[in-house]
Structure 1
Amino acid sequence: MESKSLDSGSHRRPSAYNDFQHTQVTSVLADGDVPYADHELDADERVIMALGYKQEFKREFSLWTTFCVSFAVLGLLPSFASTMYYGLGYAGTAGMVWGWLIAMVFIQCIAMSMAELCSAMPTSGGLYYAAAVLAPPGWGPFAAWLTGWSNWIGQITAAPSVDYALAAMILAAGSITNPSYVPQNWQIYLLTVLIMIIHTVISSLPTKRVAQFNSWGSTFNVLALVVTLIVIPAASKNSPKFASSHEVWSHITNQTDFPDGVAVLMTFVAVIWTMSGYDSPFHLSEECSNANVASPRAIVMTSGVGGVMGWFLQLVVAYTVTDIEAVIDSELGQPWASYLLQVLPQKAALGILGLTIICGFSMGQGCMVAASRVTYAYARDDCFPFSKYWKQVNSYTQTPVNAVVLNSVLGILMCLLILAGTTAIGALFSIGAIAQFVAFIIPIFIRVFFVGNRFRKGPWNLGRYGPFIGGMGVVFVALMVPILCLPSVTKGDLTPDLMNWTCLVYGGPMLAVLIWWFVDAHNWFTGPKVNVEHAIHHVHDEPEINEGVDPAPAQEVEATKGSDKSDDTLPK
C-alpha cells in the first residue's frame, strides 16, 4: 500500500492534517499525529479516525433511531413497574413525587455533561474513552479501567433485571386470570431465560434491522405510556377517583427505620435505575450519522422527555393509589399488577399490564443492544480475558454477535439469583443504578476538577456553564452511592432476607477489579488502543484553529504506547 508522505519541514499544511486537527475532538492520538487514509473520508469517518479508530460499523442510525434505542432502554412504563416497590414502598406518595422531581434536576445535569463529552468524543467506548483521555498524565489507564468495569457491570445487569421483571409480570397476568395459580421462582427463571435467548437473536441481526426493531418498540413505548396516563384516571373504579393534593404531596408513608428525609432519598433508586439508559447514544455513536451532534442531542432528548413523562406517571399513580401496603405486599409478587387491580376493573388492568409487558420486551432488547456495544468497545482494547473473540464483528451482520452471546450467557447465570428469592434478585436493580452512575460521573469529575477550561469542546457543548453543571452531578452521585446501599430496616429488625446486598454484589467485583489492577493489569493495560494506521511522518507545525475553538486539548494518556505506534505498523 502506498503511503501519502507528509513533509514535516514544509510550511504548507497537508489537507489530511487539517481534516483531523479541525475536527473538534479530544483524542488519544498524540499531538501532530495524523491517521492515514487511502480514500476520501466523510465527516463522521474523519471524526472517528481522529479519535484513533477505524470505521467498522455501518452508520445506519439517525438522531431519531438513536433516540428510539435510548428511549427503549429507558422504558419508562416497564421501568416504573419494575421499581415501584422502591419508589412507592419506601416513602409513599410524597416521597415518590418529590423524589422524582428533585432527582431529575441532578440527573439532567449528568445527562447534559455526558452529552458534552459525547460531542467531543463520539466512540462506542463512551465514558471509558473519555475518562482515559481527560485524566492527568499517568492516570488515564487507571481511570479508564475503573470507569469501564463499573459501566460494564451496570450494562450487563440491565437486560437480566428487565427480563426478570418482565417474566414476573407475565406470570402475574396468569395469576389474575387464574387466582389459584401462584408463580414459582423456577418458573420465573425459565421464562426469563427464554426471553433473554429471544433478545440475543434479535440483537445479533444487522444494524438496520436492530434499528428498525427499536424504532418500532420505542414508538410503542411512547404510545403505551400516553394510553396508560389517560386510561388509569378515566377508568378508575374507586370513589373518589383521586386523593387530595395535600395527602399526595405531604403524606410521607415511611416504611423504613430511617428518618423521613433519608427515606425520600432512598426512593431515588427507582428514579436512578429508570433514568440510567440515556447513555446508550454514546455507545451507539459509531453507528450514528452526524454522531458528534446527533448522539449528544439524543442523550439530552432521552433524559428530558423521559424525566417529564416519568413524573406524569408518578402523579397519576400517587393520586389514584388507595392502599400502599396492599400493593407492596400482594401475593401476586408484582406491585404494578397489584396496583392496576386495585384501581381498575380486571379487563382494563389486564390491558394496561399487557401494554407494559410489550414495552418491557422492547426495553430488554434495547438494553441487550447497548450492552453488546459496550462489551465490543472494551474488548477492542483487550480489557477482558479472551478479548480477541468478543471484539470480532460478524462479517455478515456487521454487528458484534460474539459480544451479544457473551452478555446473554452472563445474564442467564446472574438470573440464577431468582432462585434465591426476591431480595437476592432485587440487588440487580441497585447494582445497575450504582454501577452506571459511578461510571457516568468519573469522566465528568475529571473534566470538572482536573481539565476545566482546557477541555476541547465538540459542536454540542454547555459553554461556560459546563463545569458548574457537571459539578452538580458529581455532588449528587457522591451523596447517592451510600444511600443506595442502605437496607430499609436497622438493628434488631435486620435479617439476611431484608439486608441490602448491593454493597457486596457490586463492591465485590469492583474490589476484585482493583486488586487485579494493582497485581497485574497495570503492567499491560494502557487504555484505549489506536487501531488506525498513521502517516509516516508526524507534523509539528502549529495547527490552524477554527474561530471559536479552544486550541488546547485536554491532557492525554499514553494509550498508544506499545500498540499501533511502532514502525512495523506504519504503511509501507
Structure 2
Amino acid sequence: MDADQAHLEALGYKEEFKQEFGLWSTFAVSFSVLGLLPSIASTLFYGLGYAGTAGMTWGWLIAMVGVQSVAMSMAELCSSMPTSGGLYYAAAVLAPPKWGPLMSWLTGWSNWLCQVTAAPSVNYSTASMILALKTLHDPSYTAKTWHVYLLTLGIMFSHGIISSMPTRFIARFNSAGTLMNTLCLFVVLFMIVGGAQPGEDGHKFNNSHEVWSFIDNQTDWPNGIAVLMSFISIIWTMSGYDSPFHLAEECSNASVAAPRAIVMTSGVGGLMGWAFQIAIAYTVRDVAGVTQDELGQPFVTYLQQCLTPRFVTTITALTIISGFFMGQACMVAASRVAFAYSRDGCYPLSHIWAQVNPYTQTPVNAVWFNWIIGQLLLLLMFAGDTAIGAIFSVGAISGYVAFTMPIGIKVFWSSDKFKPGPWNLGRWSRPCGILSVAYVALMTPILCLPQYKGKNLDLDTMNWTVVVYFGPMLLAFGWFMIDARKWFKGPKVNVQHAIHKDHELEEQSTNGVEFLSGVEPSGSGNSYEEHSKAKDWARADQV
C-alpha cells in the first residue's frame, strides 16, 4: 500500500475513494465553497447595516485574527487525522474515553447543520439575485415567494446532478469554478474601483477618515456590540475552509496537501475579502439606503448608488455565476460529511446514505439525502424573510462550534497525547488553540443577538438562530442520552482497529517495535516502513 492508504488504515478506515484530488483541486473546492463574491453580496446587510463602514474595514481585520487561528488549528488536526469525518473523528480520538462518543456526536451534528444549510442559503441568494436583476430591467415585475422557491429548486437540482458525477469530473469542474470565481472577483473589484461615479460632493471615493471611523449603528446595542454583530458577515463568508478536511480521503498526500489547502483558503480568502470590503466602504453613498432597499438585494442597491446601469447588470450577472459554482461546491462538501457520518450510523437509514455508487465511486445517496433536507429548509422562506435569514446565522454558528470543539479538547484535555502530523504549528499550537476557543466562545452569544431589543423587538425582527440551531442540537443531545449512547461508541471502522485503547486488542510487538492494533507487518522492509510512518503520523489509539 502507498503512504496515504497506510495512514488511512492506521486511522481505522479502508480506502473507498479514488485519490484524484491534489493540492490545487482540493483548494479549488474549498475556495469555491468560500465564494467570496456571492458570500459578501449575500451578507452585505449584516456587515454594512450593523456597524457601517468601520465594521467592514478594521472590523474585518479583527475578525480575521480569530478566523485564521481557527483555520490553522484545524489544519493541524487535519494533518494528523485526514479522514472524511474530519472534526467529528478528531473529537472522538482526542476526548477522554468516556466522553469521546458524546463529543463526537455533538461535533458531528453541529458540523452537519452547517453543511446542510450552506447550499440552500447560497442558492436562495443566487435565485433572489436573478429575480432582482429581472426586476431591475422590468419594474412591473414583482418576484413572488414561490418564484424564488422554484428557481432555487432548479439550481439545487442541477447541483445534485453535478455532485453525483465521478471524482475526476467533480475535481475538474470545481477547478474551473475556482478560476471563474477568482476571475469574477477581480473583474468586479476593478469595475467598482474604476467605474465608481462621483458622489454629491464631487469626489469619486469617500473620505478615509469617515470610512475607517464611521460606525453607522443601526441596532439597539452599543457600538462595540454592533461591530461584533457585524462579524456574522465575515464568519459566514469565511466558513468554507474546512472542506479539504472532508475531502482528505480523496486527496493524494492528504496529510500535507489537505492542511495546506485549509490555510491557503483562509489566508487568501481573508486578504481578498478584505480588499473587496475596502472597495465597498470607499464607494458606498448611502448606508441606510442600502440596508433598507426595496429590491431585497442590498448588494444590487449598493451597485446602483455608485455605478452606471450597464456596470450594475454586468456585476450582478458575474455574482450570479459565482454563486452557482459556490452552491455546487457546498453540496459536494456536505455530501462527504453526510457520507462519513452515515458510515458510522449517525442518521436514520444510515446504511442507505453510506453507500458508494459502484459506477461513479462517489457517495451519490448522501448527495440526494442532503438535497431533500435542503428543499425542506427552503420552505422557511414562506414564513418570511426573518425565518429564511436564520439559516445564514445557523451556518455561521454551527460551523464554528464544530470547528472549535475538537480544538478545545486537544488544548485543554489532550495536548500531551496529541500526535501531530507533518504539518503542525509546533510551540504555537497551544496559544493558537486557546485563541481559537476564546474567539468562538465570544462570538457564539453575539451571533444570537437580535438587531433590536425592548419595545422594538417583535416576531419579525427576532433572531431565530437560537431556535433553528440550538433546537436541533438539543434534540440531538436528547437522542444521545435516551437511546444513542447505548449503541453509538464513536466513529466505526472498516478494519480491525480501536479508537481508544482496548484491553482486548493489545498492541503487538515485533522485533521490539510496537504496531497499531489491527495493522500488522507483512515482513517486508517497505511495508514495515509504511506502517511505522502511519503510526508516527496518526496513532489513532493514542488515548
TMscore range, shorter length? over 0.9
Whichever residue aligns with residue 505 of structure 1, its letter is: V
* 1:124 equivalent among 76, 84, 87: 84
Q: What is the rounded CA distance, in whole Å, between the counterparts of 2:196 and 2:405 in structure 1?
A: 45
In structure 2, do the counterparts of structure 1 residues 179 and 489 end up closer, same or farther at CA, with 3 Å as the change threshold? same
Task: Give the 5 Å matches for 1:99-498.
Answer: 99-239=59-199, 240-498=203-461
Please give the TM-score of this superposition, normalised by the length of structure 2: 0.93
In structure 2, do the counterparts of structure 1 residues 476 and 196 end up closer, same or farther at CA, with 3 Å as the change threshold? same
Deviation string 1:325-356 (CA, Å, 9 cap, x unpaired) is 11111111101111111111011111011111
Partner of 1:25: none
* 1:528 equivalent among 491, 497, 520: 491
Aligned 8 A contact 1:159 1:411 in 2: yes
SS state of the match for residue 527, structure 1? coil
Q: What is the rounded CA distance, in whole Å, between the counterparts of 1:114 and 1:552 in structure 2?
A: 15
Deviation at 1:533, TM superposition (A): 4.6
Aligned 8 A contact 2:12 2:540 in 1: no
Whichever residue aligns with residue 76 of structure 2, its letter is: E
Task: Give the 5 Å matches for 1:75-86.
Answer: 75-86=35-46
Instruction: Give structure 1 regions of 4+ aligned residues with deviation exceeding 2 angstroms.
Output: 533-538, 540-547, 549-557
Question: How much is the aligned-residue C-alpha RMSD, in angstroms?
Answer: 1.8
Deviation at 1:534, TM superposition (A): 6.9
Aligned 8 A contact 1:379 1:390 in 2: yes
In structure 2, do the counterparts of structure 1 residues 391 and 550 end up closer, same or farther at CA, with 3 Å as the change threshold? closer
Aligned 8 A contact 1:111 1:299 in 2: yes
Q: What is the rounded CA distance, in whole Å, between the counterparts of 1:90 and 1:69 in structure 2?
A: 31
Partner of 1:569: none
Partner of 1:52: 12
Q: What is the rounded CA distance, in whole Å, between the counterparts of 2:460 and 2:13 in structure 1?
A: 48
Q: Which moved more, 1:388-397 or 1:170-179?
A: 170-179
Whichever residue aligns with residue 107 of structure 2, its letter is: T
Deviation at 1:454, TM superposition (A): 2.6
Whichever residue aligns with residue 543 of structure 1, its letter is: V
Q: What is the rounded CA distance, in whole Å, between the counterparts of 2:397 and 2:494 in structure 1?
A: 32
SS state of the match for residue 236, structure 2? helix
Q: What is the rounded CA distance, in whole Å, between the counterparts of 1:148 and 1:537 in structure 2?
A: 29
Partner of 2:502: none
User: Identity over aligned residues, as a percent?
Assistant: 60
Aligned 8 A contact 2:29 2:175 in 1: yes
Aligned 8 A contact 2:80 2:537 in 1: no
Partner of 1:36: none
Q: What is the rounded CA distance, in whole Å, between the counterparts of 1:394 and 1:471 in structure 2?
A: 41
Q: What is the rounded CA distance, in whole Å, between the counterparts of 1:515 and 1:290 in structure 2?
A: 39
Q: What is the rounded CA distance, in whole Å, between the counterparts of 1:137 and 1:52 in structure 2?
A: 17
Q: What is the rounded CA distance, in whole Å, between the counterparts of 1:454 and 1:552 in structure 2?
A: 11
Whichever residue aligns with residue 116 of structure 2, its letter is: I
Partner of 1:539: 508
Whichever residue aligns with residue 167 of structure 1, its letter is: A
Deviation at 1:238, TM superposition (A): 2.5
SS state of the match for residue 15, structure 2? coil
Q: Which moved more, 1:277-286 or 1:228-237?
A: 228-237
Which consecutive residues of structure 2, in runs of 5 or more, have no partner in the other structure? 499-504, 515-528
Whichever residue aligns with residue 249 of structure 1, its letter is: W
Aligned 8 A contact 2:10 2:538 in 1: no
In structure 2, do the counterparts of structure 1 residues 176 and 355 end up closer, same or farther at CA, with 3 Å as the change threshold? same
Q: What is the rounded CA distance, in whole Å, between the counterparts of 2:398 and 2:513 in structure 1?
A: 40
Partner of 1:511: 474
Aligned 8 A contact 2:11 2:538 in 1: no
Q: What is the rounded CA distance, in whole Å, between the counterparts of 2:44 and 2:332 in structure 1?
A: 25
Aligned 8 A contact 2:417 2:542 in 1: no
Whichever residue aligns with residue 497 of structure 1, its letter is: D
Deviation at 1:109, TM superposition (A): 0.4
Which consecutive residues of structure 1, in runs of 5 or more, have no partner in the other structure? 1-40, 558-572
Aligned 8 A contact 1:282 1:296 in 2: yes
Aligned 8 A contact 1:445 1:471 in 2: yes
Aligned 8 A contact 1:136 1:555 in 2: no
Partner of 1:13: none
Deviation string 1:208-263 (CA, Å, 9 cap, x unpaired) is 11111100001111111111111101111233110011100001000000000000
Whichever residue aligns with residue 139 of structure 1, its letter is: W
In structure 2, do the counterparts of structure 1 residues 554 and 388 end up closer, same or farther at CA, with 3 Å as the change threshold? closer
Deviation at 1:45, TM superposition (A): 0.6
Deviation at 1:543, TM superposition (A): 3.1
Deviation at 1:550, TM superposition (A): 7.5
Whichever residue aligns with residue 332 of structure 1, its letter is: L
Whichever residue aligns with residue 383 of structure 1, its letter is: C
Partner of 2:47: 87
Aligned 8 A contact 2:101 2:490 in 1: yes
Deviation string 1:509-547 (CA, Å, 9 cap, x unpaired) is 000011111111100001111102579995135537989
Whichever residue aligns with residue 421 of structure 1, its letter is: G
In structure 2, do the counterparts of structure 1 residues 386 and 236 end up closer, same or farther at CA, with 3 Å as the change threshold? same
Deviation at 1:453, TM superposition (A): 3.2
SS state of the match for residue 540, structure 1? strand
Deviation string 1:115-158 (CA, Å, 9 cap, x unpaired) is 00000000000000000000012111011000000000110000
Please give the TM-score of this superposition, normalised by the length of structure 1: 0.88
Deviation at 1:505, TM superposition (A): 0.7
Whichever residue aligns with residue 392 of structure 1, its letter is: Q
SS state of the match for residue 238, structure 2? helix
Q: What is the rounded CA distance, in whole Å, between the counterparts of 1:247 and 1:49 in structure 2?
A: 57
